[in-house]
Amino acid sequence: MPISERHFVSIIICAKNEALNLKKNLPIVLSQQYNDEIGVAMYEVLVVNDASTDDTKEVLQEFKKQYHNLREIVIEPGEERTYQGKKFALSRGIARVRNEWLVLTDADCMPSSDSWLENMVTPLAHGKEIAAGYGGYNKTVGLLNAFIRWETLHTFLQYSTYAMAGKPYMAVGRNLACTKGILLKAQRTNIWNKLPSGDDDLLVGTMANAYNTGIVCNKQSFTYSGAKENWGDWLKQKQRHLSTGKYYKSGVKILLGLYAISHALIWIGLFVLMFTGFWKAILLFMLVRCIVYWGLWTVTAKRLKEESLIYLFPLFDLSWVFYNFALAPYILWKNKKQWT
């Protein structure tokens, strides 16, 4: 992005007992190459310390000695809250930012490069009001980690293609850019305070359209965070993430539902018809389907630097049937009443 197109940016990080993550990730956030002609940083980083009881305050005090564009906003324990959960911390950050362009990320997220910020706000420079990026997970050993990374890849493929088709419906708050004005509009909607989290999906669901939303997908724009290490913790996280699904627009919910149902019926049909006279036809159909389907996933995996997942696509393709059945109740009606 030419320096002449750059506007000042405010990065907002809501942090509750995140001292260790801030110590690890803030130096990367605060070292972005987004400067003016004489090398002065054109961004501030606001960390909203949401009544932390760990060493968050001390960590931030040390960083502020080195980085003059770092600011802390403190929410005291017991302070009266006008919004549920994380949304209250976010509202305090929005109220104190100095700039119109905003980038939202989490304390446990590490940008993939020192040009992350420039890449995320480029769509804003081109007239967009929302820019959705990719928030990946660090690769470790184990099937759970691989499934989490595949599910994240699959979700990005869904919401990015919907956005490019003119039907944006979600984003991930750990890597999201937007204007202050549109975030304030979303905050004033009737559904904003229905959940303690979900600010990312609700922003896109209420404010995004075919013209004001962009997708950022290059390796310099990614963020990475640590994945859950056991199935129970991951399930709790997914329940919280999926609780905003009931607030998607009706048309999007129908399309996503049809996709999940057709996916399940294809696999169920395979196992049923294999024991009939149609087994050759169903095998041919499944072969063509998998070549197309897994080919699309392979292209996406390479774009998102997740090539190690490719050989697991058959297993995760089938597993997604059980995933949808298990988590459907949390998409349809259950809410999670906390954000940490």
pLDDT in tens, 110-121: 999 999 999 999
CATH 3.90.550.10 placement within the chain: 3-241
State the pairing for strand pair 130-132/176-179.
antiparallel
Tell me what pLDDT residue 116 has.
98
The token pair that represents 244 in the structure block? 């905003």
Instruction: Check: CB of residue 12 under 8 Å from CB of residue 93.
Output: yes
Q: Which residues contact 100 (CB under 8 A, 6 or more apart)?
A: 7, 179, 180, 181
Lowest-confidence segment of 174-178, 210-214, 231-235 by average pLDDT: 231-235
Q: How many CB atoms lie within 10 A of CB 198?
A: 28
| Inter-residue contact 178 to 129 (CB < 8 Å) | yes
d(CA 87, CA 91): 6
Nearest CA to 134 out of 229, 241, 224 is that of 224
Q: Are the C-beta atoms of 319 and 147 separated by less than 8 Å?
A: yes
Residue range 180-201, pLDDT digits in tens: 999 999 999 988 988 777 889 9
Q: How confident is the model at residue 330 (pLDDT cuts 50, 70, 90)?
A: low
Please tell me the predicted confidence (pLDDT) of residue 30.
96
Nearest to 126 by CA among 211, 45, 44: 211
Q: Is the pLDDT of residue 98 over 90?
A: yes
8 A C-beta contact, residue 142 and residue 60: no
Predicted confidence (pLDDT) per residue in 28-40, tens digit: 999 999 999 898 9
pLDDT digits (tens, 9 = 90+) for 144-166: 999 999 999 999 999 999 999 99
pLDDT the model gives residue 239: 75
Assign a CATH topology to domain 3-241.
Answer: Spore Coat Polysaccharide Biosynthesis Protein SpsA; Chain A (3.90.550)
